[in-house]
Structure 1
Amino acid sequence: MKILMLVSSMHAGGAERVAATLVNAWAERGDEVTLTPTYSSKGSCFYPLSDKVRLAWLADLAGTRASGAVAAFKRLLTLRRHVRDTRPDVVVSFLTNVNVAAILATRGLRAPLIVCERTNPTVDTTTGQVWRRLRRLLYPRADMVTVQAEATAGPFARQVPGIKRLAVIPNPLPAPLLDAPLVAQRDGGPRELLAMGRLVPDKQFDLLIDVYAELAPRFPDWNLRIWGEGPQRAALESQVARLGLQERISLPGRTETPWEALAQGQAFVLSSAVEGFPNVLLEAMALGLPSVAFDCPSGPREMTRDGQDALLVPAGERGALRDALRRLLEDQALRTQLGARGAQAVRQRYALASVLSEWDALFDAVRGARP
């Protein structure tokens, strides 16, 4: 089968990581796969790609890296020509802006189109009004729309009426994590409580730092390490300094080896106000990291089986997060139990082979519906 995957860029990010995982798996099993970043010029991919994946940068195909309406229209025409020349059996598109362009570019062409939301679009605050209106107008023209969590499907169907098919498909667990060794719980310190994500308000790392500051005197052998980069770095560093916790809280930046970084910890916390499908929680649990997560929309409740496989606390409740972290940090038996149970559950439910089978069902559905 010939698959064309469209994604905004191949920089570091959750959508890009999933795109790389999928195209690599499809190519390795024998599909003819083209990956096209649509909004960035030629460069290197943050995540490794199989040499069996054809990489085609839209900016290079269009011959322009300029911005503005004329350049955008030229890229749209180039995208349409690219789809026509590639002659895919199916087109898969990630992210709202790319989805809108893909719908416009494929009108009248034979290739069925699956557009994929990579956040929870019903609570996302970063998508502008223009894109929201275009999404509402154009998504009903796609052959299929996917979201990442069951909790998102109903509200999104009401937000964007008229969608032909709406499917829920989770992110796959990358294959190397299926048999990776589980993290070891230490009898003594120093130990690390880990968090990971872009340093932006939605991740609520400022709240996490305040909660940790309340616990730090009680747990002198536990340090907090927050991996990631973003516009809140200066504010978070100032907060840490104000609390006098520079020796206990570190913000080492972005890592190109997130699984290795996670494997160095003894517990994980997700403090987000909103998520689409938090890959980092999935990966932390797969490595056996006992986890605490806000029950934010959406993903953590489904991923933890309603809190069976991690400590799930009401979204935004600072006191509940503090109490859950206290339970986890003081109880090694609980950490060991949660870590093992969580790893077994997510490795089974989100294995790459299982998610690929779900994708195959989507491909069959949209191809069967086209004349």
Structure 2
Amino acid sequence: MKIILLISAMQDGGAESVASTLVNAWAERGDSVTLIATFSGRGKCNFAISEKVSFVYLADRVKSRGGRILSVFSRLRALRSLIREIDADVLVSFLANVNVSSIVASRGLGVPIIVCEHTNPLADRRALHWRLLCRWIYPRANLLTLLTHGVVEPFRRLVPGIKHIAVMPNPVPEGLFSERRGTPVMSDRKRLISLGRLHPCKQFELLIGAFASIADEFKDWDLWIWGEGQERAKLEAQIRQSQLRGRIFLPGRTLTPWREMAAAQAFALSSSHEGLPMAMMECMAIGLPIVAFDCPSGPRELTRNGQDGLLVPPGDTRALATALRRLLSDETLRQELGQRAAVSVRERYSLGTILRMWDELFVQVGASARQ
């Protein structure tokens, strides 16, 4: 089968991690796979992409460098030409802006298109024009996927004309299973970690505040937040003010996130909203105990309603500090939660399970390999 997967860029992020996992798996099993990055600035790929995958930057195909409107039309024209040239059996598109462009560019070409939301679309505060475009254009896709069952009916009300919706979770990358929990780089220190963009929706200021409030009780623990983004200066100022610069770290992006997870003792998620958070899923699969805000979509599903991790009310810094105190002080609890999380996540979200679900969707939209 010829498969095109479209995404904005491949620098970092949960959707990007999923994209790399899927295209590599499809290519390895013998499908002809093209990964198209549509971001006009091209960007750098920070994920391992199989040599069997054809990786194309749309920016390399865009000829016009006119004004903004001309640039949009030039990119849509280039994308349409590329889709026609590849002659794929199915298109898979990730993220709202790419979804809209992919539907418009492929209109009339007779290629089934599956568009995928990788955040909670009801809580991500996207701009009004994007909400309207999704409402008008999404119904022209053959199928839309959401990450959790909890957002299906609300999304139907948001986009009433949508034809078909399916729940498609993210897969756990196969390579993650070879990682083994080890000792941290400094053997006398324990690490509480988080990973994600330094963006307001991640609410890392609340995590820093919660950790700072109990730091004196756990002098052998440090907080490491991996990621980069617009909130760096604000978070650095908060760390300076807390006088914990030697115990709270913002080391930036990491190209070896699984290694950092394996070297940690606990993970915290402080987001205001999520889709199905990959960093949290991967930490659980590796056997790391977690504390998470019970934010809309994601943490509750991953932890099976709190069986496999500690959930606290969204945005409640005091409750987060209390849960962290409980987890950091109890090694037995950390071991029990980590073991349950690893078994549960690996059973529900293994790559083989998710690939079979994708194959069912391909059949549903009428995609099949042409002889």
Q: Aligning the two structures, in what range does the TM-score lie when normalised by the shorter sequence?
A: over 0.9
Worse overlay, 29-38 or 80-89 = 80-89
Q: Matched residue of 2:133: which SS?
A: helix
Cα offsets for 1:99-130 (capped at 9, x unmatched): 111111111111100011111111111x2111
Q: How far apart, CA to CA, are the structure 1 residues paired with 2:12 and 2:67?
A: 22
Q: Matched residue of 2:99: which SS?
A: helix
Aligned residue in 1 for 2:39: 39
Alignment of 1:299-338 (within 5 A): 299-338=298-337
Q: How far apart, CA to CA, are the structure 1 residues paired with 2:223 and 2:59?
A: 41
List gaps (5 residues or longer) in structure 1.
none
Query: What residue identity is the alignment partner of 2:52?
Result: K
Query: What residue identity is the alignment partner of 1:348?
Result: E
Aligned residue in 1 for 2:58: 58
1:306 Cα deviation after fit:
0.4
Q: Matched residue of 1:11: which SS?
A: coil
Alignment of 1:50-199 (within 5 A): 50-64=50-64, 68-125=68-125, 127-183=126-182, 189-199=188-198
Q: How far apart, CA to CA, are the structure 1 residues paired with 2:44 and 2:106?
A: 27
1:98 Cα deviation after fit:
0.8
Aligned residue in 2 for 1:340: 339
Work out whether 1:3 is the aligned partner of 2:18: no
1:200 Cα deviation after fit:
1.2
Query: What residue identity is the alignment partner of 1:88?
Result: A
Cα offsets for 1:20-71 (capped at 9, x unmatched): 1110000000000011111235564210110100112212122346661111
Given that 1:183 and 1:266 are in contact with CA atoms closer than 8 Å, whether structure 2 keeps it comes out as no
Aligned residue in 1 for 2:17: 17
Given that 1:80 and 1:105 are in contact with CA atoms closer than 8 Å, whether structure 2 keeps it comes out as yes
Aligned residue in 2 for 1:263: 262
TM-score (norm 1): 0.95
Given that 2:179 and 2:258 are in contact with CA atoms closer than 8 Å, whether structure 1 keeps it comes out as no
Given that 1:296 and 1:315 are in contact with CA atoms closer than 8 Å, whether structure 2 keeps it comes out as yes
**Given the superposition, is the C-alpha separation of residues 198 and 65 from structure 1 closer, same or farther in structure 2, using an over 3 Å criterion?**
farther
TM-score (norm 2): 0.95
Given that 2:179 and 2:262 are in contact with CA atoms closer than 8 Å, whether structure 1 keeps it comes out as no
Aligned residue in 1 for 2:285: 286
1:331 Cα deviation after fit:
0.5
Query: What residue identity is the alignment partner of 1:15?
Result: A
Query: What residue identity is the alignment partner of 1:233?
Result: R
Given that 1:7 and 1:98 are in contact with CA atoms closer than 8 Å, whether structure 2 keeps it comes out as yes
Cα offsets for 1:147-188 (capped at 9, x unmatched): 1111111111111101110011011101111343235699x8
Query: What residue identity is the alignment partner of 1:81?
Result: S
Given that 1:178 and 1:351 are in contact with CA atoms closer than 8 Å, whether structure 2 keeps it comes out as no
Query: What residue identity is the alignment partner of 1:6?
Result: L
Q: How far apart, CA to CA, are the structure 2 residues paired with 1:368 and 1:265?
A: 43
Query: What residue identity is the alignment partner of 1:14?
Result: G
Given that 1:183 and 1:288 are in contact with CA atoms closer than 8 Å, whether structure 2 keeps it comes out as no
1:308 Cα deviation after fit:
0.5
List gaps (5 residues or longer) in structure 2.
none
Query: What residue identity is the alignment partner of 2:364?
Result: A
Q: CA RMSD in A?
A: 1.7
Cα offsets for 1:290-323 (capped at 9, x unmatched): 1101110111100110011111111111221111
4+ residue segments displaced more than 4 Å: 41-44, 64-67, 183-186
Q: Matched residue of 2:82: which SS?
A: helix
Given that 2:190 and 2:220 are in contact with CA atoms closer than 8 Å, whether structure 1 keeps it comes out as yes
Aligned residue in 1 for 2:358: 359
1:243 Cα deviation after fit:
1.2
**Given the superposition, is the C-alpha separation of residues 271 and 43 from structure 1 closer, same or farther in structure 2, using an over 3 Å criterion?**
closer
Cα offsets for 1:246-301 (capped at 9, x unmatched): 11111111111111111111011001111111100001111111110111011110
Cα offsets for 1:71-105 (capped at 9, x unmatched): 11011112112111111110001111111111111
1:195 Cα deviation after fit:
1.1
Query: What residue identity is the alignment partner of 2:29?
Result: R
Aligned residue in 2 for 1:218: 217
Alignment of 1:221-236 (within 5 A): 221-236=220-235
Q: How far apart, CA to CA, are the structure 2 residues paired with 1:316 and 1:62?
A: 43
Identity of aligned residues (%): 52
Aligned residue in 2 for 1:203: 202
